[in-house]
Amino acid sequence: MTRSRGQARERLLAAAMTYFGTRGISDLSLRQLAEALGTSHRMLIYHFGSKEGLLTEVVRAVESGQRRLWSELVADPSLDPTERPRRLWQRVSDPAMEPYARLFFEIYGQALQGREPATALLEGDIESWLAPSVRTLVDSGIPAERAEPMARLGLAVTRGLLLDQLATGQREAVAQAFELFLTLFQRAEQPGAVAETGAG
């Protein structure tokens, strides 16, 4: 991809992210979406292949930003271990992020059905979230063989509660559930927790 084409693609992607963040996801046709973004449907096809391709790239861009934030949080020695996931949760559960969260679950569902181009969303998705979590758990003294399932559980709970919030709108109840999870998770990190629970 040439530099100019790459820059044009990034500008269109940024415009699409802004549009979906303020207007939400709609049933606009590709032509209508192109008009809303100030471009032509041919340019969108040229850069993204289809409307679905553009939506997939929007989701990937948002996810990439959230993974960067998570990597920064786990690398910050000034933060308490429970404060790191709490700050990530505050970001992903923010009302301003709801349009992107809804789009994430929509496109992820397509990916799980094997529909192109959504399947690109699955490439390294789980692993890229787990890697920084596992590293920080191991650094805190958790055995590597236990750190991965703990990190996987954290990701699953976060996404599950986010889906709960979108489905029910019960933000306070979901936030309380997340805080309960952090308490339980912190206990599981304590020395002797494996023996006490019989896990592992």
CATH number of the domain bearing residue 179: 1.10.357.10
Q: How confident is the model at residue 195 (pLDDT cuts 50, 70, 90)?
A: very low
> What global pTM score does this model have?
0.85
Q: Of 95 and 187, which is predicted with more confidence?
A: 95
Considering the domain architecture, whether residues 83 and 106 belong to the same structural domain is answered as yes
Average pLDDT over residues 113-125: 95
Does residue 194 register a pLDDT over 60?
no
pLDDT in tens, 64-103: 999 999 999 999 999 988 899 999 999 999 999 999 999 9
Host domain of residue 34: 1-49
Looking at 24-168, list the stretches that DSSP marks H as alpha helix, in order from N- to C-terminal side. 30-36, 41-48, 51-74, 83-92, 98-112, 125-139, 144-168
Give the chain's end-to-end CA distance (angstroms, integer): 48
Distance CA 89, CA 71 (A): 14
Lowest mean pLDDT, pick from 53-62, 177-186, 191-200:
191-200
Share of the chain above pLDDT 90, in %: 68
Which amino acid, 24? Answer: G
Based on the fold, state whether residues 29 and 105 are members of the same structural domain.
Answer: no
109 near 101, Cβ under 8 Å? no
For residue 32, pLDDT over 60 is answered with yes
Query: Are residue 160 and residue 64 in the same domain, yes or no?
Result: yes
Same domain, 185 and 161: yes
Q: Which of 14, 31, 49 is where one domain is finished?
A: 49
Q: Are residues 74 and 11 in the same domain?
A: no
Q: For the chain, what is the domain count?
A: 2
35 versus 178: which is more confidently predicted? 178
Give the CATH number, domain containing residue 34.
Answer: 1.10.10.60
